[in-house]
Structure 1
Amino acid sequence: MIMARILVVEDEVDLCKILQFNLEQDGHQVDIANSAEEAMKMDIPSYDLLLLDVMLGGISGFRLATLLRENPQTAHIPIIFTTALGESSDVVRGLEAGGDDYICKPVRISELKARIRAVLRRCAPQQGREASVENGVMFLGIALTIDPEQKAAFADGIDLKLTKLEFEVLRLLFSNSPKVFSREQIVSAVWPSDVIVTDRTVDVNITRLRRKLGPLGSCIKTRIGYGYSFEIE
């Protein structure tokens, strides 16, 4: 998991304590500001992410986000808005103010953690082509991430719950994009050598994998007469 310094800007003291406790359980370092004015006195450029309430007294969360985006030292810091305002127009306003994501209250901790993971992965600086391929890509507004240590794949921070074979097939294609692999090459790389695997078995696993990937499933291309590849259009 990505460890990060997170600044929570929220005027509900009890909610601050809940957020701080749960996020620190995930290994993040969490600081609290109970107003935009208090946050602006802190070393904001040192944080990796801001969790920002919209309806603050004084300077609003929308206004603070705009100010941060106008400052070159803080323009890159990802912002997740938390608010009781759930109308689509409010969401649009938050995104236009510079928010990277928007979550409505009451905050569900599991959803918040997933969104934080997704935003951090999406905004993390890429370290060359290999790091980009191994860590994740954006397609259709969805962040797809491969975690080789957890043996898991995530779409916007949500575990896709792949089987071992599905994960290994995805990792093979994803990590070598856009190389085309024949069915024989996929079997050799993924399946145990003492197991008899037909072309149909490979095709069935690809179909299941595409289904679990949802819109991202279209990235797995069928090359008739050759095999399969992972390609971002």
Structure 2
Amino acid sequence: MDYTPRILIVDDEKDLREILQFNLASEGFEIDVAASAEEALDMALENYHLILLDVMMGGISGYKMADILRKERDLDVPIVFLTAKGSENDLLTGFNVGGDDYIIKPFSIKEVVVRIRAILKRGRGNEQKPSTVLECDGLKLDINRKSASIDEEPIKLTRKEFEILALLLKNGGKFISRHEILNRVWSDDVIVTERNVDVNIARLRKKIKEYGPAIKGRTGYGYCFDYQG
């Protein structure tokens, strides 16, 4: 890595904050901490390469903070949730509000470091790709800028929604299975289900308005983007 990743730890457990801060700093990361979501939301979050975010906190929860960052602030900084809750519904909630990974307590520092490096590596790789614009009539995706628009009007997509739409556009009318979408959009070390793909597709259809019906699903085949104009 030719830069020093800057990470924000948001957790109301002082002991855990200190353990994470010490160990991640020892791994070469630049670390800042916040004791609550409220404190973190007052910080310049766009300056961080990744946020480690506790789910269960007094006041604003980690899920709510992530939702605010994605929907209200349009911030796409990677978010890794830290939580003792590991049910399928908890995982789906985390990913539906824009989380990139989900680490269940108790965890090892080694596991946290490996997951952080994997996410940062993917993000850094995207920055180095040449600019590519995918277009379908008035719908445009700028792969490099991570921006989407319809007739030059910006539309707000989460990171996963953007990547799913980009994948479908790149493959034209070809059906992409739910399993392949999971493998391409979510990392291999993340526990998600095919239902998570369906949830993101449903939200995506609404956001791209008149182009929504172009995302077609077929049982046993998956999804494709087939726009007839």
Return closer, same or farther for 1:69/1:143 CA change in 2, 3 Å cut-off: closer
2:122 corresponds to 1:115: no
2:26 corresponds to 1:40: no
1:60 maps to which residue?
Answer: 61
Give the 3-state SS of the residue equivalent to 1:8 in structure 2.
strand
Give the 3-state SS of the residue equivalent to 2:127 in structure 1.
coil
Return closer, same or farther for 1:128/1:142 CA change in 2, 3 Å cut-off: closer
Q: What code does the residue aligned with 1:87 have?
A: S
Residue 70 of structure 1 and its aligned partner are, at CA, apart by 1.5
Q: What code does the residue aligned with 1:75 have?
A: L
Gaps of 5+ in 2: 131-166, 168-179, 190-229
Alignment partners' CA distance in 1, 2:129 and 2:9: 31
* Counterpart contact for 1:10–1:53, Cα < 8 Å: yes
Aligned pairs (5 A) from 1:26-105: 26-72=27-73, 75-105=75-105
1:119-178 residue CA offsets vs partner (Å, 9 max, x unmatched): 11122233236xxxxxxxx9824889xxxxxxxxxx86xxxxxxxxxxxxxxxxxxxxxx
* TM-score, with structure 1 as normaliser: 0.55
Aligned pairs (5 A) from 1:201-220: none
* TM-score, with structure 2 as normaliser: 0.55
1:23-63 residue CA offsets vs partner (Å, 9 max, x unmatched): 10111111110100010111111111000000010000000
2:22 maps to which residue?
Answer: 21
Residue 71 of structure 1 and its aligned partner are, at CA, apart by 3.7
1:11 maps to which residue?
Answer: 12
2:129 corresponds to 1:128: yes
Larger CA Rg, structure 1 vs 2: 1
CA RMSD of superposed structures (Å): 2.7
- How many aligned residue pairs are there? 140
Alignment partners' CA distance in 1, 2:100 and 2:186: 12
Alignment partners' CA distance in 2, 1:142 and 1:91: 16
* Counterpart contact for 1:62–1:97, Cα < 8 Å: yes
Alignment partners' CA distance in 2, 1:42 and 1:113: 23
Alignment partners' CA distance in 1, 2:120 and 2:91: 20
1:57-92 residue CA offsets vs partner (Å, 9 max, x unmatched): 0000000000000145x5210000000001111011
Alignment partners' CA distance in 2, 1:40 and 1:143: 26
Task: Tell me which stretches of 4 or more aligned residues in structure 1 moved more than 3 Å.
Answer: 141-144
Q: Give % identity.
A: 47
* Counterpart contact for 1:50–1:78, Cα < 8 Å: yes
Alignment partners' CA distance in 1, 2:34 and 2:77: 16
